[in-house]
Amino acid sequence: MEHYLMNLTLKVWRQKNNQAKGKLETYQVKDISSEMSFLEMFDVLNEQLIVEGKEPIAFDHDCREGICGMCSMYINGQAHGPWQQNTTCQLHMRAFKDGDTIVVEPWRSGAFPVVKDLVVDRSSFDRIIQAGGFISVNTGNAVDANAMPIDKKDADNAFMAAACIGCGACVATCKNGSAMLFVGAKVSQLALLPQGAPERESRVLNMVAQMDKEGFGNCTNTYACEAECPKGISVANIARLNSEFLLAGLSTEEK
């Protein structure tokens, strides 16, 4: 693929800490290669800032191969930037052209408070998992793995839901700051598998209760979450979450 160099203007959200007031700062970067990843472009900018005696921009990132879910930039008004089904770390500079201005903000949601610059606190997701995103099986309790055949279709669907990387793009994208796609993905994965059956009802009720407690908004079916999800998690999982929630609510009342 033909590669090219570009000069860019960046407007980046800077915020010293959780208490401080933030604002967009403008930076120029030169001779950025189209073969670089977006975060490598940020590396270049940060190196430049350090040499100039300024503070580099804090941003979360780790694996840089689109699977750990740590990177989280809101680029030109889109979670993870312009490419479909893609994380920030896998976005490459060939998505941009010479002279472009790029606006970079952190995830915006009340349930994800800013830690510094582009870094946010997503521990609310961990607490939702703690509320029920598991199957209660202590080490050593398991039967032979092939003792329970599972319909390939169910297994495949469970896998597709389980592919969620917990990045929070769905929340950042949603106008309501809803975490329904994240919660729906985990509830679906475990509801589709027979191993998840014993805790099926309590799981969905507890996870939804925790989700509400953390201050995430409700779903109004705009499907923006699915459109921006880097792993293409389907909104069908939200439908399943709703149906699981309803059924669990009805049957627990009976008990």
Which one of residues 23, 77, 134, 220 is an interface residue with other proteins (CB under 8 A)?
134
Q: Which is nearer to other proteins, 16 or 220 (CB)?
A: 16
- Applying CB under 8 A, the span of 22-30, 84-92, 97-105, 212-220 interacting with other proteins comes to 84-92
Q: Does 84 bind other proteins (CB under 8 A)?
A: no
Q: Which is nearer to other proteins, 109 or 219 (CB)?
A: 109
Which one of residues 19, 146, 221, 253 is an interface residue with other proteins (CB under 8 A)?
146
Beta carbons of 232 and 181 less than 8 angstroms apart: no
Q: Does 98 bind other proteins (CB under 8 A)?
A: no
Cβ at position 254, least distance to other proteins in Å: 26
CA pair distance 60, 121, nearest whole angstrom: 10
CA pair distance 100, 9, nearest whole angstrom: 6
Strand 119-120 vs strand 23-33: parallel, antiparallel, or unpaired?
unpaired
CA pair distance 102, 98, nearest whole angstrom: 11
Total number of residues that touch other proteins (CB under 8 A): 80
The amino acid occupying position 217 is: G
- Applying CB under 8 A, the span of 6-14, 135-143, 172-180, 244-252 interacting with other proteins comes to 135-143
Q: Which is nearer to other proteins, 130 or 218 (CB)?
A: 130
CA pair distance 77, 70, nearest whole angstrom: 19
Element (H, E) at 32: strand 23-33
* Window 190-209: residues binding other proteins (CB under 8 A): 190, 193, 195-196
Residue 150: closest CA among 193, 186, 196, 185? 193
Cβ at position 54, least distance to other proteins in Å: 7
* Window 11-70: residues binding other proteins (CB under 8 A): 16-17, 33, 35-37, 39-40, 43-44, 47, 49-51, 53-56, 58, 60-70
Contact letters (x/-) for other proteins, 152-191, by CB under 8 A?
A: x--xx-xx--xx-xx----------------------xx-
Element (H, E) at 123: helix 123-130
* Window 229-248: residues binding other proteins (CB under 8 A): none
Phi/psi at 143 (5° precision): -90, 175
Listing DSSP states for 191-230 in one string gives: HHSGGGGGGHHHHHHHHHHHHHHTT-B---S--HHHHH-T
Q: Which is nearer to other proteins, 99 or 149 (CB)?
A: 149
